[in-house]
Structure 1
Amino acid sequence: MLSVRLLLTEVAAVETALVQGVEPGRAALARIVSRDASNLSPDEVREAALESLSENLSDSVVAPLFWYVVAGLPGATVYRFSNTADACWGYRTPRWEHAGKVAARADDVLNLLPARLTAALLLPDPRRWRDLRHQAARTPSPNSGWPMAALALAGDLRLRKRGSWVLHDTGATPGPTHLRDALRRVRRTALAAAVAGALAARAVHLLHLRHDPPPEGER
């Protein structure tokens, strides 16, 4: 249900590919984003990689842990099915219009709390949450803007999607050092989320035992 290592590896591979040139960087980026990467500049390739890194921290780590705490393995499984269905079907094409709309709406609902929790983990300073809300609202998605804006503010970076939106436009243009720093930040955040999820799941389990203890012979 989780994919921390793959996420970090694929995003790091984008920077490694950019060392060889923009075309290899675009090809590496195309493995992790759905947008057309064929005409992106090196700066835009890094920005898109960082956006994918932050969004998938929510989708692939925090949200599955959140739904595991709430509803156990069935909850995490249903969430991952919904999220994967959205990624596969959530496109406005004649073939996928109906299924894609259902998957996208389900994914939006299931990610409402995890996306905001991810943002809070990336940007734990409450004094900056007003700016976080303002930046997150710049994207059309009800959820993905939150972790992306949090990563942008935490790293003082500008993130953008050409012709659509810009997050933290006074931030620095991401470079190789920024991407490596973001990877470390996301790795620490994923670890913190895993520890918090384990503790929360244990607390929920103990609470259930207190209210509904097992039969004497099963203790």
Structure 2
Amino acid sequence: MTHDASRAAGLLLGFAGDRLFGDPRRGHPVAVFGTAAARLEQGMYADSRARGLMYTTVLVGGSAVLGLALERATRGRLLLHTVATAAATWTVLGGRSLEREALAVHAFLDDEDLPGARHRLTYLVGRDTTSLTSREITRAVVESVAENTCDAVTAPLFWGAVAGVPGLLAHRAVNTLDAMVGYRSTRYENFGWASARLDDLANLPGARLAGLAVLAARPRTAADAWAVWRRDASGHPSPNGGVVESAFAGALGVTLGGTNRYGERVERRSTMGDGPAPAVTDIPRSTDLATHVGAVAALMISASVLARRAVRRTAER
């Protein structure tokens, strides 16, 4: 086994671990990171982009250094390297947990329990859920499943392929910081700017990978997904969310986008897709698509790692 083969095997095993087990209920390493980040924020916070950049650099850099230490400790010990890569991959992926949360909201809607669905939806989205209708809750779930398939599955897999364990841990740090301080508010408008922009940059390749995986996972609707992606993605405020949400909209035959409320701020997004608004039954359809997109992406990423090794060997001859 080569180092590249070890990395590819670790990524696949970690993906399988996430699908089988999801996130642990207690003691998740990401929760430990979040606690450390919150404490550091107390000491470093200032209404300043420069201070926010320092904060982001310390935490993302520290995560990358930890990953680099793990890579070096397992260098030349390919079985241990596979295990370390698999453990890091399982730690940073969140596809199974995303599916569980989406289906939990679906269960409340299926029982016509709007208060329960609105509350459970807060686990998935940052928008105000207090007065959402069943249709609006459903749209929010499908959009969250689509966007987070990039954030929690395809983007970390991409960085794992490119940079191994350091890439996996650094990406999860970036994604976690964006969720903590990157959203728009008076407190974080400047301090969270660096985290938000870095998250956009880090997810650029993962979003495109997710879009391509949608086409591969649903070949019968690939033409529709591609057409909606090309036409509607740029209307989304996120350079990455628009790609994945538009591809999902085309593949599922629904229309996403519209008006969202975030506290006192109202955001009116352009619509994506040509079908009707998603129905409650479209939630499990979206999670099923997300599962297949993750599997396709994991196979594509692992194959690319092995192909890279083959190209290098050919070039050396």
Which residue number corresponds to residue 123 of structure 1?
A: 215
Q: Give the number of the structure whose alpha-carbon radius of gyration is greater.
A: 2
Residue by residue over 1:47-86, the C-alpha shift from the partner in whole angstroms, topping out at 9 and shown as x without a partner, is 0000000001000000000011111111121111111111
Aligned-partner SS, 1:137: helix
Q: How far apart are the structure 2 equivalents of 1:189 and 1:169? A: 19
Does the Cα contact within 8 Å between 2:232 and 2:271 map onto a contact in 1?
yes
Which residue number corresponds to residue 201 of structure 1?
A: 305
Q: How far apart are the structure 1 equivalents of 2:234 and 2:283? A: 24
Can you give the 5+ residue segments of structure 2 that lack an aligned partner in the other structure?
1-91, 217-221, 260-266
Verify: 1:168 aligned to 2:290, yes or no.
no
Identity over aligned pairs, percent: 33
Give the counterpart letter for 2:196 in structure 1. A
Q: How far apart are the structure 2 equivalents of 1:15 and 1:211? A: 52
Can you give the 5+ residue segments of structure 1 that lack an aligned partner in the other structure?
213-219
Paired residues for 1:77-92 under 5 Å: 77-92=169-184
**Match for residue 14 of structure 1 among 100, 105, 118:** 105
Paired residues for 1:1-80 under 5 Å: 1-20=92-111, 21-80=113-172
Equivalenced residue count is 212
Point out the more displaced range, 115-124 or 169-178. Answer: 169-178
Cα deviation, residue 211, structure 1: 7.5
Which residue number corresponds to residue 200 of structure 2?
A: 108
Cα RMSD (Å): 2.1
Aligned-partner SS, 1:12: helix
Q: How far apart are the structure 2 equivalents of 1:128 and 1:37? A: 28
Verify: 1:189 aligned to 2:285, yes or no.
no
Point out the more displaced range, 98-107 or 129-138. Answer: 129-138
Residue by residue over 1:27-61, the C-alpha shift from the partner in whole angstroms, topping out at 9 and shown as x without a partner, is 11111101111111100101000000000100000
Point out the more displaced range, 184-193 or 85-94. Answer: 85-94
Which residue number corresponds to residue 45 of structure 2?
A: none
**1:72/1:40 CA distance change after superposition, 3 Å:** same
